[in-house]
Structure 1
Amino acid sequence: MQEIIDYFESIDPVLAAFYATLFTWGLTAAGAALVFFFKGMNRALLDGMLGFTGGVMVAASFWSLLAPGIEMSPGEGFVKVIPAAVGFLMGSLFIFGLDKVLPHLHINFKESEKEGIKTPWHRTTLLTLAITLHNIPEGLAVGVLFGGVAAGFEGASIGGAVALALGIGLQNFPEGFAVAMPLRRQGLSRYKSFMYGQASAIVEPIAAVLGAWAVMTFQPMLPYALSFAAGAMIFVVVEEVIPETQQDKYTDIATMGFIGGFIIMMTLDVGLG
């Protein structure tokens, strides 16, 4: 692991963010590839994996984003927390706006419950867009953290950025399977189900590069950017991930998955960061 951290320290931070999110994208593709080997997915397993995703995102929001953002903010007391509060609010409002505009359908929901503007798009496209919405703040978070390291901000470290990418990658693996298998059940071929599943994470490298570039170009915005990514991720968890796990009888499994994801991400961040 130290060799990986040393490598990321030796290359351009925008390139590092790109490589890190290629890794998270690759794990999404690996998860989606399971559709070639399995005919179906157990609902309890699906809810547990979604819960795990939520736990990773919540832990990453605090340990990797909010806490460093507050630490590097100037001032004391209430003044010190203002950038985090403002950024957190703006990030949640950003995803709120996308949620209202972008047509999408959550994994465990009926077609009549699709969200966003009305569109004739097929269920397969809507399911993919729902997971894509999850991945925008994840890629942004990785890029912003790498950009913060390059800018020399105290509290931002390569180890922390690598830990965040690793944690997001771990939850992307089941997420890829979670989107590919429902598409297979809709009647798509295994190949098309895989392609839709892996495509849901293509926004991560794009968001990461933009996030790293923006922070390096406008360095004072880093505390706001970190909190922006945190607010976006928390909105996704509360508005989308958790409700998806509450549609059946496996809520306890989803809750334990959430706890497991939280513990793993917290451990990675503290251990590597």
Structure 2
Amino acid sequence: MIAYLSTLNPVLLALLAGLFTWGCTALGAALVFFFKNLNQKMTNVMLGFAAGVMLAASFWSLLSPAIEQSADMGRFSFVPALVGFVLGGIFLRLVDRLIPHLHLGFPEKEKEGPKTKLRKSILLVLSITIHNIPEGAAVGVAFGAILVGDTESFVTAAVLALGIGIQNFPEGAAVSIPLRSEGLSRAKSFWYGQLSAVVEPIFAVIGALLVVFVTPVLPYALAFAAGAMIFVVIEELIPESQVEGSTDLATAATMAGFAVMMVLDVALG
């Protein structure tokens, strides 16, 4: 079965994987129909767990394969990974500056990006949308790698999509339920919660197309996605997960998320 799936069009597989991760976000956002409030400690646990998953995925599913893809460069095999990693961070920094947004749990006066009169709820959704861009790209690039890889490349990509889907579920709830607390209806809270991940299938297709048509950029693209994801973890998820002093709890959740993704990637991949 796996061997058969690995022969399918990488772009189609990337689209399906992106729809899967988007669907996981929607499922998490649907919890708003059952809960009006979310304990801050629980929110911190969810965000910490997501940070751990993204950290582990950045290395095992993206950076390590990027270095392996450049093995023919000998002692300089790290160069594509380094260049891509740095560019990924720079890209997210530019996006941060160009799109107005507000991190979860922070007061409205600490919004980032250009000055705007957008409502707080929209700024919160934009914040999560920004961080879903590298997740979608990572999935797309990983599936695009199947074209120059083998069955193992498919398994690695599938595990990455699964890991991102797992962390998207609590993340969807961490977006929609606070929006409900801000006064939005359950339907609107759910709509905005799932909408924050709509960029994932879009960027998954873009990432796959890039690799399929410009194969030599594969190691750079893998590392680019990793750099963008780690930027999000450090700049957004970790600070958000430690709001109101839940440092130890959030750290434990991050360790747990890292461990889960590590086991998935090493055991299945």
Q: TM-score, normalised by structure 2?
A: 0.97
Matched, 1:153 2:149: yes
> Closer, same or farther in 2 for the Cα pair 1:119/1:7, shift >3 Å?
farther
> Residue 101 of structure 1: CA displacement?
1.1
CA distance in 1 between partners of 2:156 and 2:236 (Å): 26
Does residue 254 of the first structure (1) align with residue 227 of the second (2)?
A: no
Superposition pairs of residues 222-241 of structure 1, within 5 angstroms: 222-241=218-237
Mapped to 1, the partners of 2:97 and 2:267 lie a distance apart of 38
Identity within the alignment, %: 58
Q: Which of the residues 87, 91, 96 maps onto 1:90?
A: 87
Q: 1:48 to 1:58 in 2, by over 3 A?
A: same
Which of 62, 67, 71 in structure 2 is aligned with 1:70?
A: 67
Amino acid in the other structure paired with 2:93:
F
2:53 touches 2:258 (CA, 8 Å); kept in 1?
Answer: yes
Query: Which whole-Å deviations, capped at 9, do the CAs of 1:186-240 have from their partners, x for residues lacking one?
Result: 1000000000000000000000000001001000000000000000000000011
Secondary structure of 1:116 counterpart:
coil
Secondary structure in 2 matching 1:106: coil
Conserved? CA contact 1:148–1:156, under 8 Å: no
* Displacement after TM superposition at 1:154 (Å): 6.9
2-structure distance, mates of 1:269, 1:24? 17
Q: Which residue matches 1:126? A: 123
1:264 corresponding residue in structure 2: 260
Relative to 1, partners in 2 of residues 1:7 and 1:179: Cα closer, same or farther, differing over 3 Å? farther
Runs of 4+ in 1 over 6 A off after TM superposition: none
Name stretches of at least 5 consecutive residues in structure 2 with no aligned partner.
none
Q: Give unmatched runs, 5+ long, in structure 1.
A: none
RMSD of aligned Cα (Å): 1.2
> How far is 1:156 from its partner?
6.1
Q: Distance in 2 between matches of 1:7 and 1:207?
A: 25
Task: Give the Cα–Cα distance (whole angstroms) in 1 for the partners of residues 4 and 188 of structure 2.
Answer: 35
- Assess if the C-alpha contact under 8 Å between 1:72 and 1:153 holds in 2: no
Residues 221-270 of structure 1, C-alpha deviation per residue, up to 9 Å, x if partnerless?
Answer: 00000000000000000011111122212111111110110011111111
| Letter aligned with residue 29 of structure 2 | A
Instruction: Give runs of aligned pairs for residues 52-67 of structure 1, distance below 5 A.
Output: 52-67=49-64
TM-score (norm 1): 0.96
Aligned residues: 268
Aligned 1:1-273 pairs, distance under 5 A: 3=1, 5-6=2-3, 8-73=5-70, 74-77=72-75, 79-150=76-147, 152-153=148-149, 157-273=153-269
Taking the aligned partners of 1:136 and 1:272, their CA distance within structure 2 comes to 25
